[in-house]
Structure 1
Amino acid sequence: MAPQDILTALRDQNPLVHCITNYVAMNIAANVVLAAGASPAMVHAPEEIPEFTPICGALTVNIGTLSSAWLASMTTAATVAGAHNIPWVLDPVAHFISDYRKAAAQDLLALRPTVIRGNASEILALAGEAGAGKGADSGDSVDAAQSAANALATQWGAVVAVTGPVDYVTDGTQTAQVSGGSPLMPKITALGCSQTALMGAYCASGPAFQAALGALAHFKVAGNAAAKVANGPGSFQMHFLDALRSTRPQDLAQVIA
């Protein structure tokens, strides 16, 4: 199933995506998922998760504004998703900035996410290697994180997506790259976090490797389109949401190598 077929299926099925994400990302992540053609739900109360997660097509977990209560919800949701064979995506945002956050990321990793999505510094650190990240911003190149991504994918049986100017995707055997987008994209808060939510929508609609590739390509195509008409970060965000909606399945192949 090719990425373009997954986008067609996504729009036909309108999958429900359970997004446990950070406060900063909730609005833009929900709008990104809606614009692409899926249905987001920002449910994080631990009391609801045992009933809610099983009815979803996918789960996404983003530790950007981590707390003990939210971590409990994330752990429960990932456990429930695993028990019901529901694909889930882990975004280990800045997990190297404190011992608490590092332990949380490792505990979630042990629950075997379907896809791990992060910038180069996050992926390097998750694999136990030294990186140059500063908060949620990467200080390392995607090329420098490729071997770490391959090792993580092999160890945990996950698809690993390293995001940057040229994204890298691997399942430990096959690899691919996605190019394009705009330098304005990092200037919009939580846009990367919203990509994790979109990746969940794709995972609900097709196989993990092609789903991760499709979500990354969708972002790059929309970024290319928005950059042509935007005057700055504010107008870019508006045009980007419109471009997510107007992206055609056949457009995805243009940015994948």
Structure 2
Amino acid sequence: MPDRIRLLVRRLGAMMIHQPQRFSDAQFAPVLSRFVQQSPLVHCMTNDVVQNFTANVLLALHASPAMVIDPDEARQFAAAADALLINVGTLTRERRDAMLAAVQAANHAQTPWVLDPVAVGALTLRTDFCQQLLALQPAAVRGNASEILALAQQSRGGRGVDTQHQAEAALEAACELAKTHHTLVAISGEVDYVTDGSQTLTISGGNPLMTRVVGTGCALSAVVAAFCSLPGERLNNVASACRVMALAGERAAAQADAPGHFAMHFIDALWRQAQEARV
């Protein structure tokens, strides 16, 4: 069988196996309730641009954020936290070493950690580092379609944090990454996808204004990390992280038609979801 035909057969088979299933609010509600009860402590090694927004997102959901970046402290804190986020948005060589130390400590303590491969692809330092981190088996990877394609070495990436691809275009790459590295992959877009390589969930919601506020994607990765700390089915937990943010986007857009007010209403919408989940 020619290689081209063999590849086509493999892709058609993968499409049949990985037919996405819609993630329902009936599945989401009990996960959010468990999250609010647990109130996880999240170690966020994230980029300088989004630290404040990320902290406010986690606080609104009743989680506890911490930004510890010194290599020695990061190693200690990663082992004590409930979850760790590695976001390479403003990566430096010193920060790379601190992140690697934190990941190694998290793995030793069996603390789940999440990789956000911001702008991976065209830039050598972050691309090489993200490939190194993949070998250390993150609990989940969260990125836009261009970042996931670049991480899978099928593209050079998008324009910085902006994607040049629709989420579904990266679904096959996400499934391959999930299988190869025994992780979950979440692709953000107009529709979000979460896959473990065998099962794929779709998460609806959100609003285009989310792309006009700095930090919504990076904050989502922190929320994904927080939800990875929960007991139960991790695929549903990560899908719930995507849904809580998408729902907040819908609710915020119903009250605001411009980015400044949207950001304020977005945080409020997360807070109200957490309050509703406590009832």
| TM-score tier (shorter) | over 0.9
- Shift in Å, 1:199: 1.0
Counterpart pick for 1:34 among 59, 63, 72: 59
How far apart are 1:77 and its partner, in Å? 0.8
- The 8 Å contact of residues 34 and 40 in structure 1, kept in 2 or not, is answered as yes
Code of the aligned partner of 1:91: D
Rounded to whole Å, the distance in 2 between the matches of 1:203 and 1:55 is 15
Change over 3 Å in CA distance of 1:180–1:205 after alignment to 2: same
Q: 1:112 aligns with which of 137, 142, 145?
A: 137
Pair 1:238 & 2:264 matched:
yes
Which secondary structure does the structure 2 equivalent of 1:40 belong to? strand
Cα distance in structure 1, aligned partners of 2:274 and 2:236: 16
> Offset at 1:215?
0.6
Aligned to 1:45: 70
Distance 1:203 1:20 in 2: 16
State yes or no: 1:145 paired with 2:175: no
Q: Distance in 2 between matches of 1:17 and 1:132?
A: 28
Q: CA deviation at 1:10?
A: 1.7
Distance 2:36 2:101 in 1: 29
- 1:4 positional shift: 2.5
Q: Does 1:85 align with 2:101?
A: no
Aligned equivalents of 1:250 and 1:143: distance in 2? 32
Q: 1:132 to 1:102 in 2, by over 3 A?
A: closer
Equivalent residue for 2:18?
Answer: none
Unaligned runs of 5+ residues in structure 2 are 1-25
Q: How does 1:160-239 map to 2 (within 5 A)?
A: 160-206=185-231, 207-239=233-265
Aligned to 1:133: 158
Partner-residue secondary structure (3-state), 2:164: coil
SS at match of 2:72: coil
Listed one character per residue, the Cα deviations across residues 118-143 of structure 1 (whole Å, up to 9, x for unaligned) are 00000011111025611111001111
State the alpha-carbon separation in 2 of the partners of residues 148 and 11 from structure 1.
33
TM-superposed deviation, 1:250: 8.6
1:8–1:249 contact (8 Å) kept in structure 2: no
Which amino acid in 1 is paired with 2:151? L
Corresponding position of 2:44: 19
CA distance in 1, matches of 2:54, 2:141: 17
Residues of 2 paired with 1:87 and 1:3: CA distance? 20
Secondary structure of 1:151 counterpart? helix
Which of 100, 116, 141 lines up with 2:125 in the alignment?
100
Secondary structure of the 2:208 match is: coil
Given that 1:167 and 1:177 are in contact with CA atoms closer than 8 Å, whether structure 2 keeps it comes out as yes
Q: 1:50 to 1:135 in 2, by over 3 A?
A: closer
Give the stretch that moved more between structures: 206-215 or 83-92: 206-215
Report the Cα offset of residue 208 of structure 1: 2.3
Provide Cα deviations, 1:212-257, integer angstroms capped at 9, x if missing partner.
Answer: 1011000111111000001310000000000001126999xxxxxx
Q: Which runs of 4+ in 1 moved over 2 A?
A: 1-6, 248-251
Change (3 A) 1:238 1:250: closer
SS at match of 1:19: strand
Shift in Å, 1:111: 1.0
Distance between the aligned counterparts of 2:166 and 2:275, measured in 1? 29
Give how far 1:44 is off. 0.8
Query: In the alignment, is residue 7 of structure 1 matched against residue 32 of structure 2?
Result: yes
Question: How far 1:179 sits from its partner (Å)?
Answer: 1.2
Query: What is the alpha-carbon root mean square deviation over aligned residues?
Result: 1.7
Identity of aligned residues (%): 43
Q: Give the alignment's TM-score, normalised by structure 1.
A: 0.94
Answer with 1 or 2: which has the greater Rg.
Answer: 2
Q: Deviations over 1:160-206 (max 9, x none)?
A: 00000100110011111011111100000111101111111111123
TM-score (norm 2): 0.86
SS in 1 for 2:32: helix
